[in-house]
């Protein structure tokens, strides 16, 4: 086999979780906890994750699920995740007191292309808890993008998440448009005129995460306005068991969300889903 | 790499069995053909007689312990299998292992099991029942580099015997000290060029299957046709279980005997309705047509073939034998290519029943 040696294959933190401690958890939106974890034994060399990547959280006795980093691992090995209570694993997490030892594998997947957005007009558009994968991108783009605007839409007031982060963006002077969905105008599309005014023109690049219908409508509308499709980046969500491209659960057409995604550009998403785009 | 001539396989198996567990396809007491412990004196393996199940389960276990958690630390459970020789693996099953080698290249559990295996392939000299390996370039002769050693029944020699081709350095090491063979003047390339086309010509015409693959990749299969196929699938997972390349799995946690928590993985099937269902209830493959389209696109889709350099179907024909609904690979491809009538309708069954009652 022309493959790497077995000894090089099994890396701690990729196939087998590192032990992490839940050091903080506070309510942050409906049925959502914003958690901070730290490695019990910080991995040698640290953990380098990029905005938009995810990790597999292991709640012993319950299972593993994929979560995006709301805060990337820092020099002390602390990282954050916004977690909604939706199933067995998250229910077990919500029942875990601060101080509990859990597990984490990662980072996995593709990242937002923040390095290439120097000086550009960038729109960050999140829907509901889809704002979570975008937080670290906003952090990375602040001061780097030429113009940056955040458009955040939520179903109602209680569905809004990441209150501390949004407050921080306001203090940092990052233009933020918080909107609630009108009954027949769901998502950010009705607000694009205001966003263009905030950016001083059509966005040159777009990062978006939220319900797929919302993202697809946004991408379609932006392409119609003249934004190149390959400049529109979406973060998709699928069920995952491994994070390494093996279990098969997260397939999107001929790709795997965990290794090819979760961040994909609009033409690729359209090709994978066979989405007509209109 | 070299070629040897052997009068029989007895001495070779005895030699390999010194350092390996020896497995060979044999019939069990129920007549099922499967990989079983063998002795040097057992009947020689026969190319073209596939086991009911491929060697997949020896590498990608139906259930594998991954790691444990003792309350403070996660520990990998790496298998430590005994060195084993699979003696007489058919070309299609070797092609499947070759694919899995690439797919699971960075999977420590698969790799630990794979590195314990010495593969002795065997050329098939006639088509097996239902096999269509030439279509997927998986046989009938063993492909280069897919086995450590390859056996070929040598009917060119008076008295028969076997040609043994040494294909890898590992195969060469396994033969160190083996005295039961003499050098032979043959190469795989010349043997395949001389003999394989004649064997391939004995396979049934596969034009209808190629038409199905073409339709699948052209995107001309209507969603309604996928849905018709999908509703015929009873989601028994027989096809994915017997398929030598299917590799989907799920994980779950189990309480360990020592009070810890173990994480295990076990075979899953993308044909199950809940395969992609998320915790929220959102399910992107709720429709059976979507699931069956994806299953066959994975096997014969150009995008997957480009990614792995090969269709993920090796043409062994097991799914056609296993499927209670009659929608294995060949049956499905014929329908996709428009060469075979579709569903047997209840009206047709009723009509047949009336005809039978009247006679």
**To 10 degrees, the CA torsion angle through B246, B252, B257, B258?**
120
For A138-165, the pLDDT digits (tens) are 999 998 888 999 999 999 999 999 999 9
Q: Residue A225, SS3?
A: helix
User: CB A61 to CB B253 under 8 A?
Assistant: yes
Question: Which residues, at least 6 apart from B259, have a Cβ–Cβ distance to it below 8 Å?
Answer: B70, B71
**Residue B45 and residue B48: Cα distance in Å, rounded?**
9
Mean pLDDT of chain B: 91
For the stretch B215-238, pLDDT in tens is: 999 989 999 999 999 999 999 999
pLDDT value of residue B357? 47
Q: Report the alpha-carbon distance of residue B292 to residue B237 in Å, rounded.
A: 12
pLDDT at residue B358 is higher than 50: no
Question: CB atoms < 10 A from the CB of B58, how many?
Answer: 18
Low-confidence ranges of chain A (pLDDT < 50): 1, 275-278
Nearest CA-CA distance, residue B129 and chain A, Å: 30
Q: How many of the other CB atoms lie within 10 Å of CB of B32?
A: 12
- Alpha-carbon distance of A134 to A102, in angstroms, equals 24
Asked whether the predicted pLDDT for residue B149 surpasses 90, the reply is yes
Residue B55: closest CA among B28, B90, B79: B90
- Name the helix (H) or strand (E) containing B352: helix B346-358
Residue B21 has phi, psi (to 5 degrees) of -75, 135
Asked if B279 lies within 8 A of A86 by C-beta distance, the reply is yes
Crossing angle of helices A163-172 and A132-141, in 10° steps, is 20
Q: Hey, are the CB atoms on A9 and B252 less than 8 Å from each other?
A: no
Which residue, among B188, B152, B194, has the nearest Cα to B46 in the 3D structure?
B152
3-class secondary-structure state, position B43? coil
Give me the pLDDT at residue A10, please: 60
Measured between beta carbons, which residues in chain A are less than 8 angstroms from residue B80? none
Q: How far is B39 from B110, CA to CA, in rounded Å? A: 26
Task: State how beta strands A147-154 and A78-84 pair.
Answer: unpaired
**pLDDT-derived band at B356, boundaries 50, 70, 90:** very low
Rounded CA-CA distance B237/A14 in Å is 29
pLDDT of residue B214: 96
In chain B, the residue whose alpha carbon lies closest to the alpha carbon of A271 is B303
Q: Summarize pLDDT for B287-328 with one digit per residue, the tens.
A: 999 999 999 999 999 988 888 888 999 999 999 999 999 999
Place of tokens 């033969």: B175
> Residue B330: which of B258, B239, B246 has the closest Cα?
B239
Residue A247: which of B108, B248, B278 has the nearest Cβ?
Answer: B248
Strands of B77-230 (E only): list them.
Answer: 84-90, 117-122, 149-153, 162-166, 182-183
Choose among A3, A6, A90: nearest Cβ to B279.
A90
Q: Which of A6, A63, A239 sits opposite B115 (nearest CB)?
A: A6
Q: Three-class SS of residue B117?
A: strand
β-pair partners for A215: none
Q: According to the model, what pLDDT value does residue B49 have? A: 83
| Cβ neighbours, 10 Å, residue B290 | 17
Largest CA distance in chain B: 75
Q: Nearest CA to B217 among B304, B284, B103, B342?
A: B304
What tokens appear for B192 in the block? 């395949």
What is the Cα–Cα distance from B300 to B293, expressed in whole angstroms?
Answer: 10
- Cβ density class A122-144: b for 16+ within 10 Å, e for less: bbbbbbbbbbbbbbbbbbbbeee
Give tens-digit pLDDT for B73-115.
Answer: 999 999 999 999 999 999 999 999 999 999 999 999 999 999 9
Residue A57 phi/psi, 5-degree rounding, is -90, 130
Query: Which residues in chain A have their CB less than 8 angstroms from residue B102's CB?
Result: 3
Q: Domains of chain B: which residue ranges?
A: 3-60+78-200, 207-246+270-358
Nearest CA to B226 among B162, B173, B322, B295?
B295
How many A×B Cβ pairs under 8 Å? 124
Report residue A73 as tokens.
Answer: 């691992």
- Please list the helix, strand and coil fractions of chain A in percent, rounded to the nearest 5, in that order: 30, 30, 40
Q: What is the pLDDT of residue A4?
A: 64
A 5-24: CB under 8 A from B: 6, 9-10, 15-19
- Paired tokens of A70: 């709301």
CA angle B207, B209, B210 (to 5 degrees): 65
- Please report which confidence band the pLDDT of residue B180 belongs to, taking 50, 70 and 90 as the band edges: confident
Residues A230-277: pLDDT tens digits? Answer: 999 999 999 999 999 999 999 998 899 999 999 999 999 999 987 433
Question: Is B108 in Cβ contact with A15 (below 8 Å)?
Answer: yes
CB contact under 8 A, B74 and A16: yes
Q: Which residues of A are less than 8 Å from B72 in CB distance?
A: 19, 40, 101
pTM here is 0.92
Which of helix, strand or coil describes residue A195?
helix
Q: CA-to-CA distance for A145 and B228, rounded, in angstroms?
A: 51
**Is-contact B343 B330, C-beta < 8 A?**
no
Residues of A in Cβ contact (< 8 Å) with B294: 251, 253
Per the DSSP assignment, residues forming a β-bridge with A207 are A124, A233
Burial degree of B21 (CB within 10 A; 0-12, 13-18, 19+): middle
Q: Which residues in chain B have their CB less than 8 angstroms from residue A88's CB? A: 279
CA distance B62 to chain A (A): 13
Q: Which two tokens stand for residue B181?
A: 């063979």
> Which are the contacts of A129, defined by CB distance < 8 A and separation ≥ 6?
A29, A32, A82, A84, A159, A161
Examine the pLDDT at B347 and tell me if it is beyond 60.
Answer: no
CA distances from B92 to A2, B51, B123, B124, B147 (A): 20, 11, 10, 10, 11
């Amino acid at each position: 086999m022309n493959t790497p040696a077995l000894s090089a294959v099994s890396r701690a933190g990729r196939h087998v979780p590192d032990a992490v401690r839940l050091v903080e958890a506070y309510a942050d939106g409906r049925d959502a906890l914003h958690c901070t974890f730290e490695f019990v034994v910080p991995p040698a060399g640290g953990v380098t994750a990029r905005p938009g990547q995810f990790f597999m959280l292991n709640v012993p006795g319950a299972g593993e699920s994929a979560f995006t980093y709301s805060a990337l691992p820092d020099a002390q090995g602390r990282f954050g995740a916004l977690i909604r209570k939706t199933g067995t694993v998250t229910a077990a997490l919500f029942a875990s007191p601060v101080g509990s030892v859990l597990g984490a594998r990662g980072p996995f997947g593709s990242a937002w292309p923040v390095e290439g957005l120097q000086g550009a007009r960038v729109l960050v558009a999140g829907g509901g808890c889809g704002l979570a994968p975008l937080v670290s991108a906003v952090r990375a783009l602040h001061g780097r993008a030429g113009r940056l605007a955040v458009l955040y839409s939520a179903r109602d007031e209680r569905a809004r998440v990441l209150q501390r982060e949004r407050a921080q963006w306001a203090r940092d002077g990052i233009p933020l448009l918080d909107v609630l969905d009108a009954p027949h105008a769901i998502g950010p599309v009705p607000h694009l005129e205001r966003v263009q005014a905030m950016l001083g023109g059509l966005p040159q690049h777009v990062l978006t995460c939220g319900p797929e219908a919302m993202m697809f409508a946004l991408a379609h509308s932006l392409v119609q306005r003249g934004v190149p499709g390959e400049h529109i980046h979406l973060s998709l969500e699928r069920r995952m068991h491994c994070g390494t491209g093996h279990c098969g659960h997260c397939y999107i057409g001929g790709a795997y969300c965990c290794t090819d995604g979760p961040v994909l550009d609009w033409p690729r998403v359209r090709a994978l889903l066979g989405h007509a785009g209109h | 790499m070299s070629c040897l001539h052997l009068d029989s396989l007895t001495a070779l198996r005895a030699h390999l069995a010194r350092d390996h567990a020896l497995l060979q396809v044999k019939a069990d007491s129920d007549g099922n053909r499967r990989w079983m412990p063998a002795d040097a004196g057992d009947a020689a393996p026969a190319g073209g007689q596939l086991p009911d199940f491929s060697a997949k389960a020896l590498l990608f276990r139906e259930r594998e312990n991954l790691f444990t958690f003792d309350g403070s630390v996660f520990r990998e459970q790496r298998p430590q299998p005994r060195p084993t020789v699979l003696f007489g693996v058919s070309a299609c099953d070797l092609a499947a292992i070759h694919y899995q080698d690439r797919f699971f290249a960075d999977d420590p559990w698969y790799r630990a099991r794979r590195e314990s295996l010495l593969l002795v392939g065997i050329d098939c000299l006639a088509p097996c029942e239902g096999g269509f390996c030439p279509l997927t370039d998986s046989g009938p002769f063993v492909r280069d580099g897919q086995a450590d050693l390859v056996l070929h029944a040598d009917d060119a020699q008076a008295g028969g015997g076997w040609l043994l081709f040494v294909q890898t350095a590992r195969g060469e090491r396994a033969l160190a000290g083996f005295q039961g063979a003499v050098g032979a003047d043959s190469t795989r390339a010349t043997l395949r060029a001389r003999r394989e086309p004649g064997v391939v010509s004995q396979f049934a015409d596969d034009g209808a299957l190629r038409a199905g693959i073409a339709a699948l990749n052209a995107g001309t299969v209507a969603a309604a046709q996928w849905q018709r196929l999908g509703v015929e699938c009873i989601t028994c997972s027989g096809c994915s279980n017997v398929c030598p390349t299917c590799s989907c799995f799920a994980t779950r946690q189990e309480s360990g005997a020592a009070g810890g928590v173990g994480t295990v993985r076990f075979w899953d099937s993308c044909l199950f309705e809940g395969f992609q269902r998320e915790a929220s209830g959102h399910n992107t493959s709720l429709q059976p047509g979507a699931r069956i389209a994806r299953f066959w696109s994975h096997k014969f889709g150009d995008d997957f073939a480009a990614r792995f350099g090969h269709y993920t179907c090796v043409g062994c024909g097991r799914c056609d034998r296993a499927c209670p609904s009659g929608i294995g690979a060949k049956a499905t491809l014929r329908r996709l290519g428009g060469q075979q009538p579709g569903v047997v309708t209840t009206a047709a069954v009723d009509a047949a029943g009336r005809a039978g009652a009247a006679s």
